[in-house]
Amino acid sequence: MSYQVLARKWRPRKFAELVGQTHVVQPLSHALASGQVHHALLFTGTRGVGKTTLARLFAKALNCLEGVSAEPCGQCAACQAIEQGRFIDLIEIDAASRTKVEDTRDLLDNVQYAPSQGRYKIYLIDEVHMLSRHSFNALLKTLEEPPPHVKFILATTDPQRLPATILSRCLQFNLKRLPERLIADRLSHILTQEGVAYEPAAVSLLARAGDGSLRDALTLLDQAIAFAGGQVVAADVHAMLGTIDPHHAVHLLELIAAGDADALLQHVAALDERTPDYGQLLGELLVGLQRIAVMQMVPATARDDDSNAATLQRLAQAVTPEDIQLYYQIALLGRRDLPLAVDARSGFEMLLLRMLCFSPIAAPSRTPAPSSVPQPPKVKAAPTGVQTDAPVPASLMTQTASTGHALDPQTDWDGLVKSLALSGLVTQLARHCSVADWQNNLLTLSLAPAHQSLATERSIESLRTALCQRLGSKLKLRLVVGHSEQTTLAQQDAARRVESQRDAEQLINQDPNVRALQETFNAQLRPQSVRPWPGSSQHSSASNTPENERER
């Protein structure tokens, strides 16, 4: 009993059956219809996308007994012979096994002879980049000026290795990698025609494993049918491919969103008993995060064709876009660093814990507030010398935070700010504010009009969130723009810098060596060249003064 594998049984027999290569089929069809067929064609592309199949279809179109046409009959003796691989005038050469210049010369010796069976003699050289330099030189002249009855079709997966002299003499067509959904549709069609029961999830797995190659996907499909005893089931395909169900990656994302580190590590421990490929599991995490990001930003284009779609949609609504982007970046960098870990499991666990430990600067929700809720007025610039009590927009949502007041903002605003995990614009906002009032969980800060640009909605919300985590979840923040009698941290720092500069200049002027130089050489000290000792504003002895702070 003979069995023909699916990749051969379902090989396209006409141009219309070729999947996903319309951009190549269309110009070839026009050339065949008009009779303007170039003598040398180059088909490039990754494995299994149809290079050899397209070359055979082109040979069939040129030698069909019904005439040169973009739609060969497929029934004549020439078409049947080409389809069955016994057409004398279609010479297929595997360049990987015939790299010597002697082989190329033997081949070219027969170019001058007329075709024996068909209209054209066609040379199909597969993996042409494997030819040696001398073989290319031998081919060059014939490729440039072949006899009128000869056509050359070259195919390669690595066109960069072809000499420029060869490329310049060919019409080049690049066959694309096939999209996963296109491969899945083709597999589903074949399974339906073959009468094989299947699960859509299993077909999606095979299409992804094909990695852009329909032939590879069909080979895996053959294997899956044999593995499961005549049907294609997702669980069996996972077992055959040695992959993990994407549901596990989605569940890990749920635990990360919930902040449950204990359950997260327990789930990884359970997965470890299956000896998973952690690199592949990390890839599933990246796929899930990408789908969530699409659901958040472009909902209309989001996929909803699998069992995880509902869970991902729920996560898209529960987790902020900033967190999703951060998780994606951590996972992407973790994929690079995973081989450097002591072992794959510990590296994967550290990556997940990193997602729990870090978060972007708090930002306002992307969902606009309901129109029925009155919005606080926006701040307008206050004229110099005029104080205004207009509040700056700030969310008053309750945040989960530790209770208790470890620091009093009114007595130690400096210490409180230093204890907060602030950065960038939020740090500058806190340092240019002073505490105006603090009572009944309402903290009122004063901001000078000159620095009003720091009071963006995002920076205020980030500061409030950080204060909630330090002072308690019931904190309310109110910001007023106006002049205050209290000095800000930025003003205190500026005063300290002035004092440090004055002390440094005084120390230099009192240094006996500097005074001697001034008296001997009538030297002058430039104040702008003096710098305080780094990290200190206290007086220091002249012996500790750096030499580069002195100038003749």
Q: For residue 457, give the CATH number of its domain.
A: 3.30.300.150
What residue numbers bound the domain in which 226 lies?
A: 180-241
One domain, residues 99 and 223:
no
Residue type at 317? Q
Residue 265 has pLDDT above 90, yes or no: yes
For residue 552, the model assigns a pLDDT of 35
Q: Does residue 378 register a pLDDT over 60?
A: no
For the chain, what percent of residues have pLDDT higher than 90? 34
Residue 62 shares a structural domain with residue 83: yes
**Inside any domain, residue 363:** no
Residue 345 has pLDDT above 90, yes or no: yes
Q: How many CB atoms lie within 10 A of CB 286?
A: 16
Q: Would 378 be classed as within a structural domain?
A: no
Residue at 324 is within a domain: yes
Domain end point (choices 436, 460, 486): 486
Query: Residue 547 has what pLDDT?
Result: 39
In a domain? residue 384: no
pLDDT of 295 strictly over 50: yes
Give the pLDDT confidence score for residue 379 in this predicted structure. 37
* pLDDT for the residue 286: 94
Reported as a single tens digit per residue, the pLDDT across 73-82 is: 888 999 999 9
- Max mean pLDDT range (241-245, 499-503, 547-551): 499-503
pLDDT digits (tens, 9 = 90+) for 31-58: 998 888 999 999 999 988 999 999 999 9
pLDDT given at position 334 = 92
Residues 44 and 145 in one domain: yes
DSSP string, 201-214: HHHHHHHHHTTT-H
pLDDT at 388 over 70: no
- Answer whether residue 107 shows pLDDT above 90: no
Please report, for the domain that includes residue 36, its CATH number. 3.40.50.300
- Asked whether residue 225 is domain-assigned, the answer is yes
**Within this chain, do residues 223 and 297 fall inside the same structural domain, yes or no?**
no
Distance CA 404, CA 325 (A): 33
Separation CA 514–CA 242 (nearest Å): 78
The answer to which of 13-17, 59-63, 171-175, 448-452 has the lowest mean pLDDT is: 448-452
Mean pLDDT (whole number) for 462-466: 88
CA distance 416 to 289: 36
Q: Are 98 and 68 in contact (CB under 8 A)?
A: no
Instruction: Specify the pLDDT at position 3.
Output: 79
User: Confidence band (pLDDT; 50, 70, 90) for 528?
Assistant: low
Average pLDDT of the segment spanning 5-19: 89
Answer yes or no: do 21 and 56 share one domain: yes
Looking at residue 393, its pLDDT comes to 39
Number of domains forming the structure of the chain: 5
Distance CA 386, CA 541 (A): 46
Is there a single domain that holds both residue 211 and residue 308?
A: no
- Determine, yes or no, domain membership for 368: no
Q: Which residue has the higher pLDDT, 201 or 100?
A: 201
- Position 403 pLDDT exceeds 70: no
Higher confidence at residue 475 or residue 222?
Answer: 222
DSSP-derived secondary structure letter, 10? T
Nearest Cα residue to 54 out of 67, 41, 73:
41
Mean pLDDT of 278-286: 91
pLDDT given for residue 285 in this prediction: 94
Query: Is 60 exceeded by the pLDDT of residue 364?
Result: no
On whether both 274 and 145 belong to a single domain, the answer is: no
Q: Which residue has the higher pLDDT, 38 or 364?
A: 38
- Segment 233-247 shows an average pLDDT of 84
pLDDT for 307: 76
According to the model, what pLDDT value does residue 394 have? 67
Distance CA 509, CA 511 (A): 6
Cα torsion through 256, 262, 268, 270, rounded to 10: -130
Q: Mean pLDDT, to the nearest integer, of 482-494?
A: 85
* Residues with Cβ within 8 Å of residue 523, at least 6 apart in sequence: 517, 551, 552
Q: What is the mean pLDDT of residues 361-385?
A: 40
d(Cα 489, Cα 365) in Å, to the nearest integer?
30
Pair 498, 471 in one domain: no
In the chain, % of residues over pLDDT 70: 86
Tell me, yes or no, whether 496 and 456 share the same domain. no
The residue among 205, 222, 241 that closes a domain is 241
Q: Name the E strands within 157-307.
A: 171-174, 197-198, 231-232
- The CATH number that applies at residue 261 is 1.20.272.10
State the pLDDT at residue 259.
86
As a whole number, mean pLDDT of residues 304-327 equals 86
Residue 405 has pLDDT above 60, yes or no: no
Q: Examine residue 392 and state whether it is found in any structural domain, yes or no.
A: no
Q: Please report where in the chains the tokens 């051969």 appear, as a residue.
A: 8
Does residue 1 sit within a domain? no
374 pLDDT exceeds 50? no
54 and 118: one domain? yes
Pair (80, 186) in one structural domain: no
Give the mean pLDDT of 423-450. Answer: 87
DSSP class of 218: H
**In this structure, are residues 42 and 172 in contact, taking their beta carbons and an 8 Å threshold?**
yes
Residues 275-301 have a mean pLDDT of 89
Do 102 and 163 belong together in one domain? yes
Query: What is the rounded average pLDDT for all residues in the chain?
Result: 82
Total count of residues recorded for the chain: 552
From 194, 218, 241, give the residue that closes a domain.
241
pLDDT at 397 over 80: no
